[in-house]
Structure 1
Amino acid sequence: MPFARLATATTPTCHLGLGLAAVGRPGYLNLGRDQDLPSVRSVDALRERTHELLDAAYAQGVRYFDAARSYGRAEEFLAEWLTAHPEADDVVVGSKWGYTYTADWSVEAERHEVKDHSLATYERQRAETDALLGDRFDLYQIHSVTPDSPALTDKELHAKLAESAARGVTVGFSTSGPDQAEAIRAALAVTVEGEPLFRTVQATYNALETSAAPALAEAHDAGLTVIVKEGMANGRLAEPYAPRVLKEVAAEVSLGCDAVALALVLRRPWAGVVLSGAATVGQLSSNLHAAVVDLDEDRLARLATLVEEPHAYWERRGQLRWH
């Protein structure tokens, strides 16, 4: 499996990955993004920013890069970078299908993406990903599976995904929403000819939203690689938005709130890869300090007081505007 390459890596940051959601398109949900990106968010400007981030991440030991069909031109930008860096043959590349980007490079679009987990969407988007990334992508994930997703019950889709796995592409899924744990457990039960279909799960977990933890531990025990997204809660755990307790712990360890927030996730024994969603090289470098943060039992106990009720967390996330 491709993630074996990470298991044998020795750099402290090898289990931190770079997600490209915030830089592959001009609009996204992260707080503070209006200050993070160039004032003119042209395709060329975001291509340049993405390549700067990939350069910095690779130089600092990051070996997992995460994209999606709905992240605007993220796959395109990543493919260009991979072509220009043949030495980066040790990275693991993941992408996702199931959402279609519909904003046409506009921040003011009424809808930025449309969800569809049908077999037809998989086949169309798989061809699009193949055309851009070719044999350089290792992992293809169903984007944002929920308990009612038809992707959990569509046997024809499962057979197509199993064919892809037989040809060497790892099959995984991501989850979103307050019922992540239910979705994860339902996905773990999906089999093709008696064999589990999914080998990875990507889920939201952070200091505010911890409800998926037991199911993620079960997935890890079942042999899946766990990828954690939104460890920064769409910027809510970064300066200047971070809660007071997080700011206090960050001051004690002389590192940023972002490093502490991601370190909290890295400590989970089931966390295989923890994603940075940085939009600047400075943010990325600060995020990567998570690998060396010292969180003792007292600090962990204080950070545990930040946990929110899942429905309240996701309701607040749903109120964030694209900007």
Structure 2
Amino acid sequence: MDYRKLGNTDLEVSRIGIGTAALGRPGYINLGHGDDLNHEYDPVLMEKNMFDVLDIALSFGVKYFDTARSYGRGEEFLGKWLKDKVEGTELTVGSKWGYTYTADWKVTAIHHEVKDHSLEVLNRQWEETKDNLDGYIDLYQIHSATLDSGVLKNIEVLDRLWELKNEGVKIGLSVSGKNQPEIINEALNVKRAGKLLFDTVQATWNILETSASVMLEKASKAGMGVIIKEGVANGRLTDRNQESSFAGKKQVLQSLAEKHAVTIDAIAIAFVLAQPWCDVVLSGASNIDQFESNLKANGVQFSEEDLNELRRLVEEPKTYWNSRKELDWN
């Protein structure tokens, strides 16, 4: 496993990290998520499954673990695992605030999570995060900052984030949607005395959605750590994607997977790792088999011809985000 400092921080991360969006709650939008969990949603079983994935990740040298308040019991499970299994181990742990989990442990719900970027929610969720991850939380991120929520112009929230930063917590934001570049640009302008508030940015970036490339490179050069989520596009960049409109792209991916003796998901993650501005890409694996498959990306070395083939598979941002919006919670 290769390692890097996360931007200009003193936090060390493995190039592949673990995200817990699909591990901490029974419902998620990844293709085949219910099958990955064998449709067994008892909290005890889900906790054990998450522990198993975290154990194997740790054994392979993973050093970055990412969760959020809205990931069901993901933050709680991660906190228990850290206290039970890795006392004294140097890891980097990030969580996120701004969404509240509302699905009540159901796979189908009217609303699985509700966004609120107010100061009240930040203060409440920071206390909840400390309860779960006290002594382990290194990075606290705004969850899916958007232009609509106005969080990057909310002086009360920004003041509180500066307070947390001055207390030693690294501050980041995650972004989502077709306006990712604009949001990252706005985040780069949140400064005091020439110092950036945000130490990191977490963005969706993959073979199909590359619109934030220029701004992510700019953020990296400015000293922000870059964390990439949804590297396999919620399962669309795996052999599970049966969309007829995707068949041609899938054939290209399958051909490259066979060439490098891996699966399509590993090709997708390797493409992210090939970007020099990326510090860590999250595996969103739901079980051990998926994680081990994702991890094989470490051994993939693309030729320039390979990279050019993959670059040609990109979608228009509007097309990509509309497709993502249509994915079913399962």
TM-score (norm 2): 0.93
What is the CA distance between 1:193 and its match in structure 2?
4.5
1:4 aligns with 2:10: yes
Residues 159, 192 of structure 1: 8 Å contact kept: no
Match of 1:231 in 2: 231
Deviations 1:137-171 (A, max 9, x none): 10000000122332110112111101101111100
Match of 2:178 in 1: 178
Q: Residue type of the partner of 1:269? A: P
Distance 1:310 1:90 in 2: 38
1:128-277 to 2 correspondence within 5 Å?
Answer: 128-241=128-241, 243-277=250-284
| Secondary structure in structure 2 of the residue aligned to 1:208 | coil
What is the CA distance between 1:275 and its match in structure 2?
0.4
Match of 1:104 in 2: 104
| Secondary structure in structure 1 of the residue aligned to 2:12 | helix
Distance 1:50 1:191 in 2: 38
Q: Residue type of the partner of 1:60? A: F
Match of 1:10 in 2: none
Residues 143, 173 of structure 1: 8 Å contact kept: yes
Match of 2:244 in 1: none
Distance 1:52 1:181 in 2: 36
Alignment equivalent of 2:325, drawn from 313, 318, 323? 318
What is the CA distance between 1:88 and its match in structure 2?
5.4
Residues 31, 240 of structure 2: 8 Å contact kept: no
Match of 2:74 in 1: 74
Deviations 1:11-58 (A, max 9, x none): xxx210000000100000000112210322111111011000100000
Residues 205, 212 of structure 1: 8 Å contact kept: yes
Deviating more after overlay: 151-160 vs 212-221 = 151-160
What is the CA distance between 1:89 and its match in structure 2?
2.4
What is the CA distance between 1:175 and its match in structure 2?
0.2
Match of 2:40 in 1: 40
Query: Which 4+ runs in 1 deviate beyond 3 A?
Result: 1-5
| Secondary structure in structure 1 of the residue aligned to 2:141 | strand
| Secondary structure in structure 2 of the residue aligned to 1:301 | helix
| Secondary structure in structure 2 of the residue aligned to 1:171 | strand
Match of 1:281 in 2: 288
Q: Residue type of the partner of 2:117? A: H
What is the CA distance between 1:6 and its match in structure 2?
2.3
Q: Residue type of the partner of 2:56? A: A
TM-score (norm 1): 0.95
Distance 1:149 1:170 in 2: 22
Distance 1:88 1:319, change over 3 A: farther
Distance 1:180 1:305, change over 3 A: same
Distance 1:152 1:275 in 2: 24
Residues 226, 280 of structure 2: 8 Å contact kept: yes
Residues 40, 46 of structure 2: 8 Å contact kept: no
Q: Alpha carbon RMSD of aligned pairs, Å?
A: 1.3
Q: What is the count of residue pairs matched by the alignment?
A: 317
| Secondary structure in structure 2 of the residue aligned to 1:314 | helix
Alignment equivalent of 1:309, drawn from 295, 316, 324? 316
| Secondary structure in structure 1 of the residue aligned to 2:226 | strand
What is the CA distance between 1:306 and its match in structure 2?
0.9
Distance 1:305 1:243 in 2: 12
Deviations 1:162-183 (A, max 9, x none): 1101111100000000010000
Gaps of 5+ in 2: 242-248
What is the CA distance between 1:191 and its match in structure 2?
1.6
Residues 27, 34 of structure 2: 8 Å contact kept: no
What is the CA distance between 1:85 and its match in structure 2?
1.7
Match of 1:17 in 2: 17
